[in-house]
C-alpha cells in the first residue's frame, strides 16, 4: 500500500516527502478518521475494497492527519488520545488489501470547506471517485453537515455511486472509537480487542533505558512512543506478542511509572520478550496486546519484584 499526504493541492510521499504522481484515476473510495480501524471500520473498508475489485477500480482510503477532533470540537477534558497513530493506522488498513492511503492534512482552513466542496474538489476531481462507500452515520465537511443525503444528491449530478454500510453491533452495543477508549482506560483489553476486531497495537522505537531489568534477570526493551497523543491502556502488566525478523515472540509488557524501581513521573512502556536475545536499539517494534495480567504494583524489595515477574512470565508462557 502506498501512503501519500495531500496538502495545498500537492500530493507527496509519506515516507520520502517527495511529490508523487496521483492522477484522478477511477477509484473506489471511503472517507473517515478511522481511529483504531475497529470492526465497524473494517466492514466499511472491506466493502470498499470489494467494490474496487468487482469493478476494476483503484482502492483508496481517505483519512485525516491530525485527527479532526484535535482541531475542531476539541475534547473539553484535554487533548484527544488516539487509538492509532498514523503508522499504526496504515499497517491495519494495508492488511485489508487497500492500495492507497490518501492522508489529508487537516487544519482550520480545510475544516472550513463545505461538504460539497470537499466531495467535488478532493474526492471527485483530485482522486477520481466512481464509487464511495461510507457508514450510515458518516458526517464530513464544515460542522460535519455532509452525509449520506449530500452524497446521494451529488451522485445524481456527477455520475458516481454511493454505497451505505449499515450499523454493526456487538453485544447489542454500537461500535465506536470512544467506547474502545473507555475500555482501554479501564484495562479491559480483551473487550477492547473484540470491538477492534484485532489486538490493540502499541509501537515505538527501542531506546536505552536504565537497564534495571537486566540486574534482576528480566532485560526489557524500552519503547519511545511516536506521539504523546497515543492512548496507553490502564497501567499494569499485559500479555503481548511482537514479530522480529519474521518470527513471532511472546512478551510481557509493563505500562506505568515503575513504582518499585524508579517511580517515573511519565509513563514508561517496556517489554520483556520471551526467548529473544540480542540488542534491538534503534529498531521499531509493534506489540499486539492480548490480555491483562495484573495492576502495576509497588514491591518492598527487588527480590519480591523478581518473584512476581517469574510468576508473570509463567503465565505468559502458558497463554
Q: What is the mean pLDDT of residues 10-32?
A: 96
Mean pLDDT value across the chain: 91
- Say if residues 110 and 122 touch (Cβ distance below 8 Å): no
| Spatial distance between the Cα atoms of 288 and 283, rounded to a whole number of angstroms | 16
Q: Could you tell me what percent of the chain has a pLDDT over 70? A: 93
- Tell me the pLDDT tens digit for each residue of 64-76: 999 998 888 655 5
Q: What is the pLDDT of residue 242?
A: 98
Q: CA nearest 219: which of 280, 284, 283?
A: 280
Q: Could you tell me what percent of the chain has a pLDDT over 90? A: 71
Q: Where are the beta strands (DSSP E) in the chain?
A: 2-7, 10-13, 27-31, 58-65, 100-105, 129-135, 161-165, 169-170, 173-174, 200-207, 221-225, 236-244, 247-256, 268-273, 284-295
Q: What is the pLDDT of residue 262?
A: 67
Q: What is the pLDDT of residue 172?
A: 62
Q: What is the pLDDT of residue 253?
A: 97
pLDDT score of 300 more than 70: yes
Confidence label for 77 from pLDDT (cuts 50, 70 and 90): low
Start-to-end CA distance of the chain, whole Å, equals 33
- Tell me the pLDDT tens digit for each residue of 33-43: 999 999 999 99
pLDDT score of 81 more than 80: yes
Q: What is the pLDDT of residue 69?
A: 87
Which residue carries 473510495 as its cell? 29
- Record the pTM: 0.91
Q: What is the pLDDT of residue 263?
A: 61
| Spatial distance between the Cα atoms of 128 and 136, rounded to a whole number of angstroms | 22
- CA angle 203–231–43, rounded 5-degree value: 80
Q: What is the pLDDT of residue 42?
A: 95
Burial class (CB in 10 A: 0-12, 13-18, 19+), 313: middle
- Tell me the pLDDT tens digit for each residue of 199-211: 999 999 999 977 6
Domains recognised in the chain with CATH numbers: 2-174 (3.40.50.620), 200-318 (2.40.30.30)
Q: What is the pLDDT of residue 162?
A: 95
Q: What is the pLDDT of residue 141?
A: 63
Which residue carries 450510515 as its cell? 136
- Tell me the pLDDT tens digit for each residue of 141-196: 666 666 788 898 898 888 899 999 987 777 667 778 999 999 999 999 999 999 99
| Spatial distance between the Cα atoms of 236 and 34, rounded to a whole number of angstroms | 27
Q: What is the pLDDT of residue 176?
A: 87
| Spatial distance between the Cα atoms of 82 and 111, rounded to a whole number of angstroms | 19
pLDDT score of 215 more than 70: no
pLDDT score of 213 more than 80: no
Q: What is the pLDDT of residue 47?
A: 97
pLDDT score of 15 more than 90: yes
| Spatial distance between the Cα atoms of 93 and 1, rounded to a whole number of angstroms | 9
- Tell me the pLDDT tens digit for each residue of 282-293: 999 999 999 999
Q: What is the mean pLDDT of residues 95-109?
A: 96
Q: 10 Å Cβ neighbour count for 148?
A: 15
Q: What is the mean pLDDT of residues 231-244?
A: 97
Determine which of 23-27, 109-113, 228-232 has the lowest per-residue pLDDT on average: 109-113
Q: What is the mean pLDDT of residues 36-64?
A: 97
- Say if residues 149 and 138 touch (Cβ distance below 8 Å): no
Amino acid at each position: 500500500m502506498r501512503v501519500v499526504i495531500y496538502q495545498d493541492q500537492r500530493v507527496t510521499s509519506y515516507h520520502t516527502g517527495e511529490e508523487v504522481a496521483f492522477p484522478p484515476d477511477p477509484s473506489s473510495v471511503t472517507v473517515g478518521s478511522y481511529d483504531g480501524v475497529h470492526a465497524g471500520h473494517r466492514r466499511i473498508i472491506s466493502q470498499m475494497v470489494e467494490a474496487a475489485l468487482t469493478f476494476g477500480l483503484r482502492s483508496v482510503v481517505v483519512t485525516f492527519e491530525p485527527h479532526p477532533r484535535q482541531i475542531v470540537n476539541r475534547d473539553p477534558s484535554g487533548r484527544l488520545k488516539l487509538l492509532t497513530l498514523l503508522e499504526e493506522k496504515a499497517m491495519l488498513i494495508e492488511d485489508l488489501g487497500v492500495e492507497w492511503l490518501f492522508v489529508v492534512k487537516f487544519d482550520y482552513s480545510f475544516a472550513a470547506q463545505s461538504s460539497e466542496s470537499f466531495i467535488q474538489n478532493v474526492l471527485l476531481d483530485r482522486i477520481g471517485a466512481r464509487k464511495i462507500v461510507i457508514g450510515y452515520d458518516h458526517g464530513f465537511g464544515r460542522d460535519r453537515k455532509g452525509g449520506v443525503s449530500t452524497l446521494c444528491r451529488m451522485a445524481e449530478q456527477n455520475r458516481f455511486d454511493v454505497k451505505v454500510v449499515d450499523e454493526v453491533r456487538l453485544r447489542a452495543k454500537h461500535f465506536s472509537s470512544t467506547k474502545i477508549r473507555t475500555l482501554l482506560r479501564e484495562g479491559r483489553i480483551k473487550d477492547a480487542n473484540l470491538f477492534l476486531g484485532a489486538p490493540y497495537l502499541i509501537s515505538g522505537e527501542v531506546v536505552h533505558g536504565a537497564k534495571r531489568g537486566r540486574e534482576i534477570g528480566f532485560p526489557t526493551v524500552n519503547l519511545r512512543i511516536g506521539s504523546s497523543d497515543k492512548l496507553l491502556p490502564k497501567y499494569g502488566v499485559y500479555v503481548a506478542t511482537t514479530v522480529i525478523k519474521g518470527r513471532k515472540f511472546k512478551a510481557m509488557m509493563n505500562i506505568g511509572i515503575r513504582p518499585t524501581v524508579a517511580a517515573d513521573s511519565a509513563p514508561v512502556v517496556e517489554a520483556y520478550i520471551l526467548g529473544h536475545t540480542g540488542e534491538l536499539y534503534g529498531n521499531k517494534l509493534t506489540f499486539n496486546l492480548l490480555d491483562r495480567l495484573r495492576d502495576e504494583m509497588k514491591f518492598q524489595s527487588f527480590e519480591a519484584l523478581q518473584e512476581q515477574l517469574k510468576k508473570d512470565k509463567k503465565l505468559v508462557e502458558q497463554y
